[in-house]
Amino acid sequence: MILAIGGAGCNMAETIMREASVHWVREATYIFADTDHTRLAELGKRGYRTISLIDNENPCEVMKGVEKLYLLAGMGGKTGSEYVKIIAEGAKDAGVQEVSAIVTTPFDFEGEGKVAKAKEAIESLDGIKTTVLRNDDLLEKYADINFASAFNYADMAALKVIELETIQ
């Protein structure tokens, strides 16, 4: 199961669904969780399974029998920073054997507040298998990346992480 949390997480999941080539990733159940009703309605219209985190819908209720779970989110906003930790712990309690988070850190230009919030949220993930994709590092390391395409590279990097792990 791939569970997207918040704006960035949902964008990452959409890219991953579209671009995946490994069977597990293509065939995974995708769930889109957010606190933003407008966004959830848009995602619902596109046919995605959604969970509203502010209407007492509990994402852990859909995890029965799930063995492997990826949580996707961008850190630095409210939703992803708050809920990755809560959902990861809930998933473990619900009996999911492998829980992995893939999260991004904000660009420096997004401001100190977001950067600090992301740092704190990532520190709180102690004990949860977490891959951190640093947006500033991606920008520096990819040959042809620019700001406009940077989020897409982060999405694609998350896809590569999942694919690499699931083919091993």
Q: Map the footprint of Mg ion across residues 17-46, applying CB under 5 A.
A: 36
CB 13 within 8 A of CB 50: no
Residue 150 beta carbon to ligand GTP: minimum distance, rounded to whole angstroms: 8
Q: Map the footprint of Mg ion across residues 57-116, applying CB under 5 A.
A: 79
Q: What is the dihedral of CA 37, 77, 18, 150, to 10 degrees?
A: 140
| 12 CB burial (10 A radius; 0-12, 13-18, 19+) | buried
- Which one of residues 4, 7, 13, 118 is an interface residue with Mg ion (CB under 5 A)? 7
Rounded to whole angstroms, the Cα distance separating 22 from 126 reads 29
Residue 43 beta carbon to Mg ion: minimum distance, rounded to whole angstroms: 12
- Three-state DSSP class for residue 7: helix
Rounded to whole angstroms, the Cα distance separating 75 from 79 reads 8
Q: Is 78 in the site for ligand GTP (CB under 6 A)?
A: yes
Of all residues in this chain, which one has the CB nearest to Mg ion in the complex?
7
Give the residue with the Cβ less far from Mg ion, 39 or 68: 39
Give the residue with the Cβ less far from ligand GTP, 8 or 162: 8
- Which one of residues 2, 12, 91, 96 is an interface residue with ligand GTP (CB under 6 A)? 12
- Three-state DSSP class for residue 35: coil
Give the residue with the Cβ less far from ligand GTP, 14 or 89: 14
Rounded to whole angstroms, the Cα distance separating 59 from 51 reads 7
Contacts with ligand GTP, residue ranges (CB under 6 A): 6-8, 11-12, 35, 73-74, 76-80, 104, 106, 110, 114, 135, 151, 154-155
Contacts with Mg ion, residue ranges (CB under 5 A): 6-7, 36, 79
